[in-house]
Amino acid sequence: MAEQKFVGTPRKATTHVNQNEGLIFEKSSPGKKAYRLDELDVPAVDAGALLGKSVRKDYGSLPELSEIEIVRHFTRLSTWNYAIDLGMFPLGSCTMKYNGRVNEAVSRFEGIADAHPYQPESLSQGTLGIMHDLSQYLIEITGMDAITLQPAAGAHGEFTGILMIRAYHESKGNARKKILIPDSAHGTNPATAAVVGYQVQNLKSNAEGMVDLAELEKLVDEDTAALMLTNPSTIGVFESDIHKIADILHAKGALLYMDGANMNALVGKTRPGDFNVDVMHLNLHKTFSTPHGGGGPGSGPVACKAILEPFLPSPVVVKKDNKFALDYNRPQSVGRVRAFYGNFGMFVRALAYTLANGYDGLRLTTEDAVLNANYIRAKLEGIFDLPFKTRSMHEVVFSDKLQSKNGVKTGDMGKRLIDYGFHAYTVSFPLIVPGAMMIEPTESESREELDLLIDALQQIAREAEENPNLVKTAPHTTRIRRLDETTAARKPVLRWKGPEQDGLTRDTPSKEW
Amino acid sequence: MRYLPKSPADREAMLAEIGAASIDDLFATIPAEYQLKRDLNVPRQHSEHEVMELFRKYSEQNATGYASFLGAGAYKHYRPVIIDSLSQRGEFLTSYTPYQPEIAQGTLQALFEFQTMICDLTGMEIANASMYDGSTGAAEAIMMAVRVTGRSGAVIARTVHPEYREVIATYAQHQGIPLSEVEYVRDSGRIDLAALDAALGDDTACVLIQSPNFFGTIEDVAAIAEIAHKKGALLIVSIAEAVSLGIVAPPVEADIVSLEAQSFGVPVGYGGPYCGVIAAKEKFIRQMPGRLCGETKDTEGRRGFVLTLSTREQHIRREKATSNICTNQSLVALMVTIFLTVYGKEGIRELAEQNLAKAHYAATEFGKKAKLLFNAAPRFNEFVIETSQAAEAINAGLLEKKIIGGLPLAKWYPELGENASLWCATELTTKEQMDAAVKAL
């Protein structure tokens, strides 16, 4: 089979057996059980008598199975996933690095996992201590003055940071009207500005894909609240004019917000606070190795300079008389952005990561991440078009310009990479690069794994020349092929509705396998 | 550093391939004045054992071995062991958002099962693939109602979790969404229906209630829905104690349900990560925030799942998106799905019934030593009592007996006085613990 499906030879991937598995609802039979409750030590109650008309009668299609069937169901599903634990995830902007397992172990210690958010502070010195210590280290790493851990993800951190910027301007008597956002930015940036009631003004990048200082100078005025800047930018390049950018903004009273999505390129080598960023968020699920979990949970702490400190969400952790406490007396706070204190379990993991690395490990991590990206760039430049030539940091952005003349697009090559045993790189982002192929290896890849990726992409480039159709119809070795996303969106089926009404689920999956 | 898979020779060889003389060459684009020339002031490298010991210390500085009667939006239920053994599989734990569906069918199918179970439990027709938590989910539900109705205001029951209301106020402040609050009736703890009716105007987009509400009281959702709908407003029901759905009728009269699913197998964990989710009537699908997983077929006709309707989302629509949310709570949604599969149709009912029985016993016993408030309406697993002394003083005494008492309410409900507190009993609260607490009152 493999001979017909490849021009070259995939070195990493081989045939993988995985099992068919229906939906959990299709496997259910009445009367099966996977639970047994404790013996009730208080008198039983008549729910109907206690709840009256509020008592529940119908339970829909909730499944009934035994424990072994449940274990097999989810284990089989798991084998259909690609994961960092299986190999490299070269997704640009996503920082898919190794998730240390000790982080998982310590997050399950009883005093941590079972801590109730409202238990007395005297019995929460450990959890408050974790928040305090992580906060101190993140402040040092970013070079900022203060921090909140409350935001639940990167976009939530952006929301918090822009709220603080707004509160700062309001305290000066004018909230201002607009936020400047480069055309290379993540989609969350403009969406965030809108939620905080700001107009979005697009900032065009210059020929190198960087902030155009002349354009910036033209656009910044007394109505500008802030610039939201990703640094290194989404093309993986450090904004060398960062101090001039900050100066232009500050001269007009505007602030500099940094999207810290790419912080993995900077830790231990430079600090945003030192290059005049006013407020930024971190993604603990990127830079600080908390697991991505198939799309979350994340955590998006926001660090800021002293001028913004009064506006941090309430509460903040403080240390008084050698005890940790929560300070709710924050009259200028933007308010609360999430119940309780944020995704606390992610703080535990991020702190464990920081301690395992230490100052020298954090720096070496950054250096390896940048070394890996530049190695890939050196090996693949010429095989793929490199639209911007400035020195890369932790990621490199190629384009499909050379391959698209044969009709092979970035998305096709991303899918084809799956056949070679990898996850796709980030496809078609940033938007300023037509046909973008954005590769971020992170520090977690050995030279051997990098060489396998490079080899795979070289072979794919050859296939794009010799048998473009093979690439355009990839992937060929996965348990399912490309999915009909148009029908999925046109006639959305978002839940299982039972075997009767459901034409789609009638066929057993993957017959051919 | 033990996580880094390179030998010194690898690094040298790679630098040579790149044509760089040293690693610092690769950082030359950072202006010299901003390059950090010193070590970060963070601790040295720690061995795995040292990390374990440090966190054991943090853990020991927290409460362990206490009986706790705290609920109020964070509930301790038993977590079957297989939740962690399955969700900790690297294929789930270390996978990315399923944007490449061909190699993410495991996550996608589990999310589809999650959405289906949430629909069944809440009585809604569609559910998204999760929100951050119940508080932000409630705020997003209000924004969704504003988009659906084209109206601007939201009327909120004062018995919605106080911290949820704070989050809603933060979200609403710059979006031109005026908020107003409706009081509760003192004998039942339920929303004041007459006051609700009076609070609704032509520009009210939605009514938000919580049921069981912050006092543990089950609201009359049908009556509230009728009042809201008569004025053309949508009804949003927030549910903070998801296990209640095992025995309490789902809020089918609502238009949108914002559920905090933490009770379904998610650690209390000092407040997070939890698992919000928004469920709604199908006609509101285009205004739903967050990710949606949908069923489709591949090029060979086999069933498969994809993230769908992404034109609502920020990575396509940018500033015109329905929300700025990107990363959600996927792995926690998986925990919820496994929990619901373990208990299933019968188990979720039995579990909820045990909670009901425990709380009924506790309320009855506490009622002998203190005044039980809000008796005129049914409750699930929480209740409010008024003690003869200040709740804080009572709790200080209980701590000595290794009991964490109920949550004092004066901070958020000063009208109830210093002596009122909110108590919770779940299936894990033993008769012995309840009797001990009552005795110590």
Which of A257-266, A496-505, B80-89, B211-220 has the least mean pLDDT?
A: A496-505
**pLDDT in the model for residue A499:** 81
Q: How far A210 CA sits from the closest chain B CA (Å)?
A: 13
Beta bridge partners of residue B181, listed in sequence order: B156
What is the tens place of the pLDDT at every residue in A377-421? 999 999 999 999 999 999 999 999 999 999 999 999 999 999 999
Which residues make up the CATH 3.90.1150.10 domain(s) of chain B?
Answer: 67-78+345-440
Give me chain B's average pLDDT, please: 97
**pLDDT in the model for residue A103:** 98
Q: Where are the alpha helices (DSSP H) in B173-248?
A: 193-199, 221-230
pLDDT band at A508 (very low <50, low <70, confident <90, very high): very low
Q: How many helices (H) and strands (E) does chain A have?
A: 16, 12
CA angle A402, A403, A406 (to 5 degrees): 115
Peptide bond just before A468 cis, omega within 30 deg: no
Average pLDDT on A224-239 reads 96
Q: Where are the alpha helices (DSSP H) in B256-329?
A: 314-317
Q: What whole-number distance in Å separates Cα of residue A21 and Cα of residue A74?
A: 9
Superfamily name and number for B67-78+345-440: Aspartate Aminotransferase, domain 1 (3.90.1150.10)
Q: Answer yes or no: do B161 and A339 touch at CB < 8 A.
A: yes
Q: Answer yes or no: do B58 and A130 touch at CB < 8 A.
A: yes
Beta bridge partners of residue B238, listed in sequence order: B210, B258
Q: Answer yes or no: do B250 and A56 touch at CB < 8 A.
A: yes
**pLDDT in the model for residue B63:** 80
Q: What whole-number distance in Å separates Cα of residue A385 and Cα of residue B12?
A: 27
CA B80 → CA B34, B147, B340, B343, distances in Å?
51, 40, 10, 9
Q: A216 exposed, middle or buried (CB, 10 Å; 0-12, 13-18, 19+)? A: buried
Q: Answer yes or no: do A83 and B90 touch at CB < 8 A.
A: yes
The tokens for B58 are 């943090």
Average pLDDT on A213-229 reads 97
Average pLDDT on B254-264 reads 98
Does residue B68 carry a pLDDT above 90? Answer: yes
Q: A329 exposed, middle or buried (CB, 10 Å; 0-12, 13-18, 19+)? A: exposed
Chain B: residue whose CA lies nearest to A377 = B18
Q: What whole-number distance in Å separates Cα of residue B196 and Cα of residue B235?
A: 12
Does residue A160 carry a pLDDT above 60? Answer: yes
Q: How far A244 CA sits from the closest chain B CA (Å)?
A: 11
pLDDT band at A86 (very low <50, low <70, confident <90, very high): very high
Average pLDDT on B132-147 reads 98
Chain A CB contacts of B174 below 8 Å? 163, 166, 195-197
**pLDDT in the model for residue B316:** 80
Q: Answer yes or no: do A23 and B109 touch at CB < 8 A.
A: yes
Average pLDDT on B52-67 reads 95
Average pLDDT on A161-170 reads 98
Please state the domain extents for chain A.
Answer: 103-355
What is the C-alpha R_g of chain A?
26
**pLDDT in the model for residue B251:** 98
Considering only the beta carbons, identify the residue of A335, A483, A509 that sits closest to B296: A483
CA B387 → CA B334, B365, B379, B406, distances in Å?
41, 13, 19, 11
Does residue A507 carry a pLDDT above 50? Answer: no
* Rounded-to-10 torsion of CA A497, A503, A505, A506: 120
pLDDT band at A502 (very low <50, low <70, confident <90, very high): very low
CA A460 → CA A33, A58, A298, A474, distances in Å?
49, 54, 33, 11
Residues in chain B: 441
The tokens for B20 are 């760089």
Q: What whole-number distance in Å separates Cα of residue A168 and Cα of residue A372?
A: 40
Three-state DSSP state, B154: strand
pLDDT band at A3 (very low <50, low <70, confident <90, very high): very low
Does residue A2 carry a pLDDT above 60? Answer: no
**pLDDT in the model for residue A510:** 35
What residues of chain B, 164 to 203, have a C-beta less than 8 Å from chain A?
164, 166-167, 169-171, 173-176
B68 touches chain A (CB under 8 A): yes
State whether CATH 3.30.460.20 applies to domain A103-355. Answer: no
Give me chain A's average pLDDT, please: 94
Does residue A457 carry a pLDDT above 60? Answer: yes
**pLDDT in the model for residue A393:** 97
Q: Answer yes or no: do A374 and B107 touch at CB < 8 A.
A: no
Please answer whether residues A188 and B326 qualify as being in contact, where contact means their C-beta atoms are separated by less than 8 angstroms.
Answer: yes
pLDDT band at A505 (very low <50, low <70, confident <90, very high): very low
**pLDDT in the model for residue A405:** 97
Q: Answer yes or no: do B42 and A362 touch at CB < 8 A.
A: yes
The amino acid present at A231, given as its one-letter code, is: N
Please answer whether residues A404 and A433 qualify as being in contact, where contact means their C-beta atoms are separated by less than 8 angstroms.
Answer: no
**pLDDT in the model for residue A353:** 98
Q: Answer yes or no: do B4 and A361 touch at CB < 8 A.
A: yes
**pLDDT in the model for residue A4:** 63
B8 touches chain A (CB under 8 A): no
In chain B, % of residues over pLDDT 70: 100
pLDDT band at A116 (very low <50, low <70, confident <90, very high): very high
**pLDDT in the model for residue B323:** 86
Average pLDDT on A19-40 reads 96
Given the candidates 3.30.70.1290, 3.40.50.300, 3.40.640.10, 3.40.50.1980, the CATH classification of the domain at B81-339 is: 3.40.640.10
Four-residue CA torsion sign, A286, A291, A296, A301: negative
β-bridge pairing A323-327 and A199-203? unpaired
Chain B CB contacts of A504 below 8 Å? 295-297, 303
| B417 phi-psi bin (left φ>0, alpha ψ -120 to 50, beta other) | left
φ, ψ of residue B383 to 5 degrees: the values are: -155, 160
Q: Answer yes or no: do A339 and B306 touch at CB < 8 A.
A: no
Provide the CB-side half-sphere exposure for A431 (13 A, CA). 12
Q: What whole-number distance in Å separates Cα of residue A57 and Cα of residue A401?
A: 60
Q: How far B30 CA sits from the closest chain A CA (Å)?
A: 6
In chain B, % of residues over pLDDT 90: 95
**pLDDT in the model for residue A14:** 81
Q: What whole-number distance in Å separates Cα of residue A496 and Cα of residue A494?
A: 7
Which residues make up the CATH 3.40.640.10 domain(s) of chain B?
Answer: 81-339
What is the tens place of the pLDDT at every residue in B345-397? 999 999 999 999 999 999 999 999 999 999 999 999 999 999 999 999 999 99
- The DSSP-derived string for B188-203 is T-SB-HHHHHHH--TT
| Residue B169: CB atoms within 10 Å | 15
Beta bridge partners of residue B297, listed in sequence order: B303
